Amino acid sequence: MAALPIILIVLAVLAIAVGVYLAHLAAKRRREVLAALAGELGWRFDPSRDRSHDDEYAHFEIFRHGHSRAAYNTLFGKLEIHRRTCTAKMGDFTYKITTSTGKSTQTRTYRFSYLIVHLPFAGVPDLLIRREGMFDKLAGVFGFDDIDFESAEFSKRFYVKSPDKRFAYDVIHPRMMEFLLAGEPPTVDIESGRCCLSDGRHRWSPEEFGATLSWVIEFFDRWPDHVTAELQSRG
């Protein structure tokens, strides 16, 4: 009977070792596929950890959670947005949260993917577009409403916030509403002349990186010419 605990310990160690090895293979495969995607796009790929990312993009809340923050598996390149060339980057981001009960300490690691576009316009007002959640509905009860639109369906499904309501109404016109309602769009967060797409919770598959890239181009292509012309004149 004394041998049983030893066998269980050995099996547990083996299971952990196999798990670590499989995770290593999965991470290696992910780097290879993302590097290949960067090659197809004509972009640059850097798998190393960039711990300055969270400071450079500190205006986006999703990059300020926890500690040990770093971007990795990063793709850098250029996009054409509304007939204008701009820089973009996308990849994975990780952070850790440590909690303590007084008797024990536990650290959990979180990972998610993102796309950031440096907009080719000057003075773009901040704009947040995301799916509406339960807490948004509760906030509305206490008078903290988001921007409402003529489409009741769109206003019900999406939370929109901007310090410039006219800009929000100009960007989110009926055709844009149809585009957003047609699928499951990522959260769009425009701040300080940059646009970040991410839910801050999930890592994308390599295919989702390509799909998100295509989506953001379609999103900006639907901006009215008079909006982009006004923004361009500010520059």
List CB contacts of 218: < 8 A, sequence separation 6 or more. 179
Q: What share of the chain is helix, strand, coil (3-state, %, to 5)?
A: 45, 30, 30
| CA within 13 Å, CB half, 210 | 13
Whether the per-residue pLDDT at 22 is higher than 70: the answer is no
Question: Among residues 122, 123, 112, which one has the least CA distance to residue 187?
Answer: 112
pLDDT band at residue 234 using 50, 70 and 90 as cut-offs: confident
Helices and strands (H and E) in the chain: how many: 8, 8
Strand locations in the chain (E): 44-46, 67-81, 84-100, 105-118, 127-131, 158-161, 188-191, 194-197
Q: How far apart are CA 22 and CA 30, in angstroms?
A: 12
Q: Whole-model pTM above 0.75?
A: yes
Torsion of CA 45, 48, 51, 52, to 10 degrees: -30
Question: Per-domain residue ranges for the chain?
Answer: 44-234
Distance separating alpha carbons of residues 157 and 175, to the nearest angstrom: 16
The length of the chain in residues reads 235
pLDDT in tens, 172-225: 999 999 999 998 899 999 999 999 999 999 999 989 999 999 999 999 999 999
How large is the average pLDDT for residues 56-76?
Answer: 96
Kindly indicate the confidence band of residue 26, based on its pLDDT and cuts at 50, 70 and 90.
confident
**pLDDT, tens digit, 9 for 90 and up, residues 34-56:** 999 999 999 999 999 999 999 99
How many percent of the chain have pLDDT more than 70?
85
- Residue 138's pLDDT band (cuts 50, 70, 90): very low
pLDDT exceeds cutoff 60 at 17: yes
Compute the mean pLDDT over every residue in the chain, rounded to the nearest whole number: 88
